[in-house]
Amino acid sequence: MSGGGSHDIAWPVRVVSDLHLGHPASRITEVAMLRPLLEGAGTVVFNGDTCEQSYGPWRPGAEAHHEALRALCGDLGVRPVFLTGNHDPRISELGWLDLGEVFISHGDMIFPTSAPWSWEYIRNKERVHAILRARDDGGGGDDLAHRYETVQELHAAMVPEAGPRRRTTDGGKYLLSALWPPERSLNMLRVWATMAGRAERFVARYRPQCRVFLFGHFHRPGTWKRGPRLHVNTGSFMAAMPATVAEIDSSRLTVRRVEERGGEFRAGGVRAERARGGPQESRNA
Per-residue pLDDT tens over the stretch 155-206:
999 887 655 445 445 555 555 666 667 788 899 999 999 999 999 999 999 9
pLDDT in tens, 74-120: 999 999 999 999 999 999 999 999 999 999 999 999 999 999 999 89
Q: Which helix (H) or strand (E) holds 49?
A: none
Number of H helices, E strands in the chain: 8, 13
Segments of 21-174 assigned E as strands: 43-47, 79-83, 94-99, 102-105
What's the pLDDT at 124? 93
**C-alpha–C-alpha distance, residues 109 and 92, integer Å:** 16
**C-alpha–C-alpha distance, residues 165 and 163, integer Å:** 6
Query: Can you give the C-alpha Rg of the chain in angstroms?
Result: 18
Would you kindly state where each structural domain of the chain is located, as residue ranges? 3-283
What's the pLDDT at 119? 87
What's the pLDDT at 281? 39
What's the pLDDT at 140? 67
The CATH superfamily of 3-283 is Metallo-dependent phosphatases (3.60.21.10)
**C-alpha–C-alpha distance, residues 9 and 29, integer Å:** 28
**C-alpha–C-alpha distance, residues 136 and 114, integer Å:** 15
Residue 129, SS3 per DSSP: helix
- Of 62-71, 179-188, 202-211, the poorest mean pLDDT is in 179-188
Contacts for 249 with CB less than 8 Å, ≥ 6 apart:
11, 12, 13, 276
What's the pLDDT at 72? 98
Contacts for 60 with CB less than 8 Å, ≥ 6 apart:
none
Arithmetic mean of pLDDT over the chain: 89
Nearest in space to 166 (alpha carbons), one of 44, 59, 15, 39: 59
Percent of the chain residues past pLDDT 70, beyond the cut: 86
Residue 210 contacts residue 103 (beta carbons within 8 Å)? yes
